[in-house]
Amino acid sequence: MATTKTDPKLHAAEDKKSKTYSGLTRQQLIDAYRTMYTSRRVDDREILLKRQQKIFFQISGAGHEAIGVAAAFCLKPGYDWFYPYYRDRALVLALGATPYEMLLQAVGAADDPSSGGRQMPSHWAYNRLNIVTQSSPTGTQILQAVGCAEAGVYLRNHPNSTKKAQGDYREFKDVTFRGDEVTYVSLGDGTTSEGEFWEALNTAANKKLPIVFVVEDNEYAISVPIEVQTAGGNISRLVSGFPNFHFEEVDGTDPVVSYAAMKRAVDYARAGKGPAFVHAHVIRPYSHSLSDDERLYRPDTERQRDAARDPITRMQMFLIREGILDENGINKLEKQVEDDMQAAVDRALEAKFPTPESITSFVYSPNLDPTSAQFDRPAVFAQPAEQPAGADGKKPAAPLPKTMAELINSTLRDEMKRDERIVIFGEDVADCSREDYLSKKMVKGKGGVFKLTAGLQAAFGSDRVFNSPIAEANIVGRATGMATRGLKPVVEIQFFDYIWPAMMQLRDELPVIRWRSNNAFSSPLVIRVAIGGYLTGGALYHSQCGESIFTHIPGLRVVFPSNALDAAGLLRTAIRCDDPVLFLEHKRLYRETYGRSHYPGSEFLIPFGKARIVQPGTDLTVITYGAVVPRALQAAQKLEREQGVKVELIDLRTLNPFDWGTIAASIAKTNRALVAYEDSLSWGYGAEIAARIADKLFPHLDAPVRRVAAMDVYVAYQPILEDAILPQANDLYRGMKELAEY
């Protein structure tokens, strides 16, 4: 039967078809349901596979599907940036990951695009979608997401910095920015208890960053209920005082209202108005993970109340009620999902596993080796200009050699000039945060408590050199996010003694990003840290060492120069290389007379893993680094004067990697070895060196391997105590003498 446009029945049908739900079309709602249902079915299949022992872990996204698909509708994969947590399966599927890819991670396949079999399932990483590698520690993603958002803003303001350059990390780091991209980060309600969460909100608010925080509140953190985690039981209430935010609190099991809330949040952030916070109330129907049985702490009544809000069944009923799909349509859709899933499972179960030989790939950059000849470039000292004689007929004195502090400052300055991707931040590193004081020349500026960054803000601007809050995790976490995007943060930790708030970032995140993502992501950056004692009055919170804790971390380069020239050459290598570097600067050496140098030029590079023989000798090898070097040299010179013993003194310069070749060659010649270090004796850095010498060089040894180090206590304030605690030239002299006489 022919119909005309005036047919009222048809009109009604067309009206219904074009009806939207908070802007979502009927087709979008069908797509949403497909993704939500797929997500739930991947969980169900993984649970089955786990019971069949074909996979080894399972954590579900069940109950969180609606807010996930709603978020995906508002964001753009491969354009925006994503730091989703493990319950975000539906979001990640909606952004473009496939069930097959997820199952590859579950079986631990070599081709698992997220981690190559290195991480548990639901630890998302999809390079093509800008879904950044995620880990298991709850909350570590939040500050990184802040850094990622900051990087986007920086790149927009410094578009030239994205250019590739030969000869350093930039050659291997594709950098993209869109100008109006938004960073998404999600977390559970329990995770809002962590300090890093609050540090992240603080910085996002302060800098008005384009980031959307999504808290998926299922009212439990494993077995701990919301009222124990969150004072008053509602996180929205607690965060409501942060300025510059757009806030939403929403039923996260309802895709339509979730979409509306997410849309307002994302629009606000994308418009550059500031960050947004979406508090989504969801449910957790499948216990915390397969290792948890929630019946142990949740009665049936409570679980049934949740079940009534299950987003999958609710969505089904909604589609039927609105006439978007009938039962037949739902069945067809679900059958299609099941069939596709079966094919994905079959394929995933046939996937190849990674080989044990691959384990060590991507601990460090496969592209750029900081131990290679590429990072070995000679010093070029400026020829002092011929100075005209003064009125008195005398020529002015030649310029004095520079301190380590001065050469580090000059190196930072030259590198910042060369590479616009470098940003410097940390506590007190700026000249003056209140810029007008500087520009009006009302103040001179600070530039670091040790003045290492003095003048850099004035020279390069306040978006390249700036102060951070007193929050070390904030510094390292944000820097990690920036470096993931391709910036090169060179951040400062003011005192080694205060590095510990950053420890989760330093142990579980920064050095692991490349390895755990199977090289899909990397975060090369530099953390400069003022370290060490011999200060007279530094006491236990301004004098500690502890480098072995960091050399124990695979993926982190650790550098510890003993003189100005080495500091310059090694810092340049640290900045240009493609790995994360912990650059330890001894405070006592900053302005020491020992080891000063003229500036070695802007291309001077010292490779990592190459020790320096401070003085050659034949009778005894002393292996050391840092502030013990000048003390050991003094002791060795005395021993030679008094006893004629010729000590070969080795300054390791870099602790990871370290120069085993130079150590072995020396001991093959001297047959005696002493390892000296400023950190406390037991479990210290020298323990590993001593063990290796005992293991590998036993046939060469004429005496036991000895160590001279600090006492196994903290550094005390009273100078008499400090002297007794830290290894002094006399202790080193005694140790060397005894070993020579053995």
Q: What residues are labeled active site?
A: 542
- Cα–Cα distances (Å) from 684 to 291, 524, 580, 707, 710, in that order, read 37, 26, 22, 10, 10
In the complex with ligand TPP, which residue's Cβ is closer, 228 or 271? 228
Write out the binding residues for ligand TPP, residues 137-176 only, by CB under 6 A: 137-138
Q: Please select the residue that binds Mg ion; options are 58, 218, 316, 573, rule is CB under 5 A.
A: 218
Determine the interface stretch with ligand TPP among 217-225, 612-620, 626-634, 643-651 (rule: CB under 6 A): 217-225
547 binds ligand TPP (CB under 6 A): no
Q: How many residues does the chain have?
A: 742
In the complex with ligand TPP, which residue's Cβ is closer, 36 or 589? 36
724 binds ligand TPP (CB under 6 A): no
218 binds ligand TPP (CB under 6 A): yes
Q: Please select the residue that binds ligand TPP; options are 26, 123, 170, 288, rule is CB under 6 A.
A: 288
220 binds ligand TPP (CB under 6 A): yes
- Residue 138 interface partner, choices ligand TPP, Mg ion, none, CB cut-off 5-8 Å depending on type: ligand TPP
Rounded CA gap, 676 and 622, in Å? 7
Candidates 714, 150, 494, 435; CA nearest to 502 is 494
In the complex with Mg ion, which residue's Cβ is closer, 188 or 501? 188
Write the single-letter amino acid at 34: R
User: The dihedral of CA 279, 32, 146, 102: what is its sign?
Assistant: positive
Kindly give the pairing relationship between strand 654-656 and strand 557-559: antiparallel
Q: Is 123 helix (H, G, I), strand (E, B) or coil?
A: coil
Write out the binding residues for ligand TPP, residues 256-285 only, by CB under 6 A: 284
Residue in the shown chain whose Cβ atom is closest to Mg ion:
188
In the complex with ligand TPP, which residue's Cβ is closer, 138 or 544? 138
Determine the interface stretch with Mg ion among 153-161, 213-221, 370-378, 674-682 (rule: CB under 5 A): 213-221
CB of 317 to ligand TPP, least distance (A): 25
In the complex with ligand TPP, which residue's Cβ is closer, 322 or 508? 508
- Residue 288 interface partner, choices ligand TPP, Mg ion, none, CB cut-off 5-8 Å depending on type: ligand TPP
CB of 298 to ligand TPP, least distance (A): 12
Determine the interface stretch with ligand TPP among 213-221, 474-482, 525-533, 695-703 (rule: CB under 6 A): 213-221
CB of 189 to Mg ion, least distance (A): 4
* Contacting residues for 445 by C-beta, under 8 A, at least 6 apart: 430, 431, 432, 438, 454, 455, 457, 458
CB of 281 to Mg ion, least distance (A): 11
Determine the interface stretch with ligand TPP among 39-47, 92-100, 135-143, 700-708 (rule: CB under 6 A): 135-143
Element spanning 628, H or E? helix 628-643
Question: Do 536 and 601 touch, CB atoms closer than 8 A?
Answer: no
CB of 218 to Mg ion, least distance (A): 4
Question: Do 646 and 617 touch, CB atoms closer than 8 A?
Answer: yes
- Cα–Cα distances (Å) from 163 to 93, 179, 365, in that order, read 32, 16, 20
Question: Do 315 and 321 touch, CB atoms closer than 8 A?
Answer: no
CB of 218 to ligand TPP, least distance (A): 5
188 binds Mg ion (CB under 5 A): yes
Determine the interface stretch with ligand TPP among 169-177, 212-220, 321-329, 486-494 (rule: CB under 6 A): 212-220
CB of 471 to ligand TPP, least distance (A): 17
Candidates 348, 423, 428; CA nearest to 102 is 348
Rounded CA gap, 161 and 158, in Å? 6
**Which token pair is 277?**
């916070």
Q: Is 145 helix (H, G, I), strand (E, B) or coil?
A: helix
CB of 224 to Mg ion, least distance (A): 9
**Which token pair is 186?**
């999600």
Rounded CA gap, 320 and 81, in Å? 35
Q: Please select the residue that binds ligand TPP; options are 25, 28, 127, 136, rule is CB under 6 A.
A: 136
Determine the interface stretch with Mg ion among 216-224, 365-373, 637-645, 728-736 (rule: CB under 5 A): 216-224
- Classify burial at 386, counting beta carbons within 10 Å of its beta carbon; exposed 0-12, middle 13-18, buried 19 or more: exposed
Q: Please select the residue that binds ligand TPP; options are 165, 222, 363, 503, rule is CB under 6 A.
A: 222
Rounded CA gap, 574 and 260, in Å? 46
The phi, psi pair for 466, rounded to 5°, reads: -150, 160
CB of 362 to ligand TPP, least distance (A): 23
Candidates 279, 294, 345, 375; CA nearest to 653 is 375
In the complex with ligand TPP, which residue's Cβ is closer, 190 or 447? 190
189 binds Mg ion (CB under 5 A): yes
CB of 458 to ligand TPP, least distance (A): 40
Task: Tell me the helices (H) and strands (E) count for the chain, helix number first.
Answer: 26, 19
In the complex with ligand TPP, which residue's Cβ is closer, 188 or 538? 188
- Residue 535 interface partner, choices ligand TPP, Mg ion, none, CB cut-off 5-8 Å depending on type: none
409 binds Mg ion (CB under 5 A): no
Rounded CA gap, 432 and 581, in Å? 27
DSSP state of 126: B
Determine the interface stretch with Mg ion among 38-46, 181-189, 343-351, 433-441 (rule: CB under 5 A): 181-189
In the complex with ligand TPP, which residue's Cβ is closer, 60 or 543? 60
Provide DSSP, 491-535.
EEES-GGG-GGGHHHHHHTGGGHHHHTTTS-----EEEEEE---S
Binding-residue pattern over the window 180 to 199 for ligand TPP, x denoting contact by CB under 6 A: -------xxxxx--------
Return residues touching ligand TPP (CB under 6 A).
87, 136-138, 187-191, 216, 218, 220-222, 284, 288
Binding residues vs Mg ion (CB under 5 A):
188-190, 218, 220-221
